[in-house]
Amino acid sequence: MAFPTTRLRRLRQSPSLRRLVRETVLTPDDFIMPLFVRPGKGEKRAIKSMPGHYQYSVDELVKACAPIVSAGIPGVILFGIPDKKDARASGAFAKDGIVQKAARALKDKHPGLVLIADLCFCEYTDHGHCGIVEDGNIVNDATLELAAKTAVSQAEAGFDVIAPSGMMDGQVGAIRKALDSGGKSMTPILAYAAKYASAFYGPFREAAESPPSFGDRSSYQMDPANFHEALRETELDVKEGADMVMVKPALPYLDVIKAVRERFGLPTAAYSVSGEFSMLKAAAANGWLDEKRAALESLTAIKRAGADFILTYYALEAARWLP
Ligand code: PBG
């Protein structure tokens, strides 16, 4: 039935009517907070391009998680800035590595908080690439061995979920096998299944001190122009044993989020990345948009597209803004 019998404005007449027919509602349960941890004690270094975010030493990180827990946010994902970087990313799988130390401290003080380990090597290699480099190439299969070791080391340190983000072929399978034979068969994998070579990671590279010293990441991260390839990437990760999958970035890739959620039916995460956050912060600082409305609208759109949960630097602010 068409107009004038049908008038869609009838259900938009009051806040209560609108609430009644609202299809997507955000809650703090939807959010994961990304956090950066560095060596030292009593350190809380501001990340300039990401207002309100810091590189924390482990003791400060534990403190920073108290309000996150109180706000009802279920989990955090950690990125480490190691003391030393080298060609083999030793800091990534060291028993006393920076994120391993952080996980032990957090498990002790906030046992209910879900700890997700980002598993990648760009923060740990001296060249800033996400894998082993030989003759200027990022070598896939040699990197898998490191990924397997790192996953077990992270799980042993107390991480609840392992999230490989290096975009090496076969990484999910290699990690699953290592976890299973390392006594960690109950540790789930959140695969960064469709991760694009995105300009929106810019501020993160300042935060994690991880820009590549030569070239870029286009030989392993996906071409932003490709949609069907994202489905192939996801299908492989599902076959290799991913428990959950992720699309990254979020806002420019809503079509991918929607298709991945509908096609595979796995819990699907979206990573609203550093650039998505910094854009809103910068515009808000200039008085160009209403930050609270713009941030909640963005997060709602990501959930509406199909994300079951969202990794977002707005996690704490958004949780506090919600009614
Ligand atoms: C790789 C990694 C990156 C991000 C998360 N994991 C950076 C990259 O691929 O260059 C980006 C996250 C963000 O921009 O918020 N370890």
Each of the 323 residues of the chain gets a pLDDT tens digit; together they read 899 999 999 999 999 999 999 999 999 999 999 999 999 999 999 999 999 999 999 999 999 999 999 999 999 999 999 999 999 999 999 999 999 999 999 999 999 999 999 999 999 999 999 999 999 999 999 999 999 999 999 999 999 999 999 999 999 999 999 999 999 999 999 999 999 999 999 999 989 998 999 999 999 999 999 999 999 999 999 999 999 999 999 999 999 999 999 999 999 999 999 999 999 999 999 999 999 999 999 999 999 999 999 999 999 999 999 99
Q: Ligand 1 pocket: which of 36, 53, 78, 120 to mutate (most atoms <8 Å of CB)?
A: 120
CA of 274 to the centre of ligand 1 (A): 8
DSSP for 151-183, please give it. Answer: HHHHHHHT-SEEEE-S--TTHHHHHHHHHHHTT
- Of 19, 17, 33, 25, the closest CA to residue 300 belongs to 25
Q: If you measure from the C-alpha of residue 201 to the centroid of ligand 1, how many angstroms do you get, rounded to a whole number?
A: 6
Give the Å distance between the CA of 177 and the centre of ligand 1.
25
- Alpha carbon distances (Å) from 209 to 82, 85, 129, 135: 10, 11, 12, 23
How far is it, in rounded angstroms, from Cα 186 to Cα 241? 12
- List the catalytic residues: 195, 248
Q: What is the pTM of this model?
A: 0.97
Q: Which residue is closest in CA terms to ligand 1's atom 5?
A: 165
CA 64/CA 54 separation, integer angstroms: 10
pLDDT of res. 210: 86
CA 277 – CA 250 distance, rounded (Å): 11
Is 120 near ligand 1, meaning CB less than 6 Å away?
yes
Give the closest residue (by CA) to ligand 1 atom 16.
120
Instruction: Write the residue with the smallest CA distance to atom 10 of ligand 1.
Output: 201
Residue among 122, 127, 274, 313 whose CB has most ligand 1 atoms within 8 A, to mutate: 122
- 71-93 pLDDT per residue, tens: 999 999 999 999 999 999 999 99
3-class DSSP assignment, residue 77: strand
Domain 22-321 has CATH 3.40.50.300: no
Distance 129 CA to ligand 1 centre (A): 11
Residue 122, ligand 1, Cβ within 6 A: yes
Question: Does ligand 1 lie within 6 Å of residue 30's CB atom?
Answer: no
CA of 19 to the centre of ligand 1 (A): 36
Tokens of 230: 């994202």
pLDDT digits (tens, 9 = 90+) for 273-305: 999 999 999 999 999 999 999 999 999 999 999
Query: Which one-letter amino acid corresponds to residue 38?
Result: R
Q: How far is the CA of 204 from the centre of ligand 1 (A)?
A: 6
Measured from the Cα of 120, ligand 1's closest atom is 16
CA dist 266 → 22, 28, 235 (Å): 24, 20, 11
Tell me which of 162, 195, 204 to substitute to probe ligand 1's pocket, judged by most ligand atoms within 8 Å of the beta carbon. Answer: 204
**How far apart (Å, rounded) are the C-alpha atoms in residues 170 and 102?**
28
What distance in Å separates the CA atoms of residue 122 and residue 143, rounded to the nearest whole number? Answer: 12
| CB 97, CB 82: distance < 8 Å | yes
Give the whole-angstrom CA distance, residue 177 versus residue 173. Answer: 6
Q: Is the CB of 198 under 6 A from ligand 1?
A: no
What is the distance between the alpha carbons of residues 8 and 162, in angstroms, rounded to a whole number?
45
